[in-house]
């Protein structure tokens, strides 16, 4: 299972402020305390200056303040991306903890950013993870990645992809100046005015979901799928942090795939019909 934010998660997060239900903590980055944006935790105690308040002209989009995340050299730990977040990913259990209370299903995560990479650095991110069951179940993920320099304030908008039905219980927001490895010192990501967009709920088709399933579960190597009334389908496998790790085409005659090469853990599978409509999402446990 790909471990993103691995180094950062070793040091985040001592705690998080209690925030209002269904709200991004301090989304305009106006409030700061102890050198951190209020409601967020950072790597500043370990890597000073990896998250700073931007108050000079051009450093913020709205109001009078923004967060500036800077990739730094952390000595024996190497180059570390500037990171701020409202929860943590345990690198040993690959489970999320913490976050803010959140029980809605937004369509998109939006906000404003500037990205000033050094050299060929790329990959600053702003993410939201919607979770329930104490972080064991990933309901949805929205991930924005800045791949090229953007010296001017620019609006981003990224859809939240849902893997499970029902409402989440927690939301974890994370922003970084780059990926967990391969970054270049002094790369900067400016973040301001985050928001969530909600669209009217669209009815979900009552396809024969009851007859669509995976087996065995838990699985050791090969997993098979019942397609219900569908002659063909596509299945995608996601890890618990929303990363797509496998895609496969299925049919009545060829409905078994091999996943034994993946790390043991909890995954989510999502099946789509021939018209690319999502017809079922469910959990899958891989053991060794």
Dump pLDDT digits (tens) for 236-267: 888 766 677 899 999 999 999 999 999 888 88
Note whether 36 and 51 are within 8 A (CB).
Answer: yes
Does the pLDDT of residue 191 top 90, yes or no?
A: yes
**Bridge-partner residues for 154, per DSSP?**
113
Q: Within 13 Å and on the Cβ side, how many CA atoms surround 236?
A: 19
Choose among 46, 74, 178, 75: nearest CA to 119: 178
pLDDT at 242: 66
> How far apart, in Å, are the Cα atoms of 121 and each of 99, 149, 181?
29, 9, 10
Q: Kindly indicate whether the domain formed by 6-197 is annotated with CATH number 2.60.120.890.
A: yes
Rg (CA), the chain: 20
| Per-domain boundaries in the chain | 6-197, 209-286
Contact by Cβ (8 Å): 65, 32: yes
pLDDT at 95: 55
| 6-197 and 209-286 in the same fold | no
State the chain's maximal CA–CA distance in angstroms: 63
Residue 251: per-residue pLDDT? 95
pLDDT of residue 166: 84
Helix (H, G, I), strand (E, B) or coil at 93: coil
Q: Which residues contact 253 (CB under 8 A, 6 or more apart)?
A: none
CA nearest to 84, candidates 35, 150, 142, 157 = 35
Contacts for 270 with CB less than 8 Å, ≥ 6 apart: 163, 235, 236, 238, 278, 280, 281
Q: Which of 3-12, 22-31, 196-205 has the lowest mean pLDDT?
A: 3-12
CATH among 2.60.40.1930, 2.40.50.100, 1.20.1250.20, 3.20.20.60 for 209-286: 2.60.40.1930
CA dist 75 → 4, 10, 46, 84, 185 (Å): 20, 15, 11, 20, 12
Percent of the residues in the chain that have a pLDDT greater than 70, as a whole number: 83
| pLDDT score at 89 | 54
């Amino acid at each position: 299972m790909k471990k993103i934010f691995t180094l950062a998660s070793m040091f985040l997060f001592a705690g998080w402020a209690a925030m209002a239900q269904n709200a991004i903590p301090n989304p305009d980055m106006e409030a700061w305390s102890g050198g951190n944006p209020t409601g967020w935790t950072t790597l500043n105690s370990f890597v000073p200056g990896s998250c700073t308040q931007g108050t000079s002209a051009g450093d913020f989009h709205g109001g009078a303040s923004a967060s500036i995340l800077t990739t730094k050299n952390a000595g024996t730990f190497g180059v570390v991306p500037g990171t701020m977040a409202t929860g943590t990913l345990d690198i040993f259990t690959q489970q999320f903890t913490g976050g803010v209370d959140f029980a809605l299903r937004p369509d998109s995560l939006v906000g404003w950013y500037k990205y000033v990479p050094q050299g060929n650095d790329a990959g600053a991110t702003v993410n939201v993870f919607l979770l329930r069951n104490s972080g064991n179940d990933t309901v949805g993920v929205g991930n924005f990645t800045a791949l090229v320099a953007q010296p001017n304030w620019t609006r981003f908008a990224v859809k939240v992809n849902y893997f499970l039905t029902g409402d989440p219980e927690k939301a974890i927001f994370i922003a970084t100046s780059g990926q967990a490895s391969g970054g270049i010192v002094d790369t900067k990501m400016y973040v301001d005015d985050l928001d969530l967009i909600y669209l009217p709920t669209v009815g979900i088709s009552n396809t024969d979901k009851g007859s669509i399933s995976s087996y065995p579960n838990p699985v050791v190597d090969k997993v098979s799928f019942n397609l219900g009334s569908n002659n063909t389908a596509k299945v995608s496998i996601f890890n618990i942090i929303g990363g797509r790790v496998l895609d496969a085409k299925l049919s009545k005659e060829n409905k078994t795939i091999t996943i034994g090469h993946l790390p043991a853990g909890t995954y989510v599978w999502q099946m789509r019909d021939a018209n690319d409509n999502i017809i079922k999402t469910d959990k899958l446990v891989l053991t060794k």
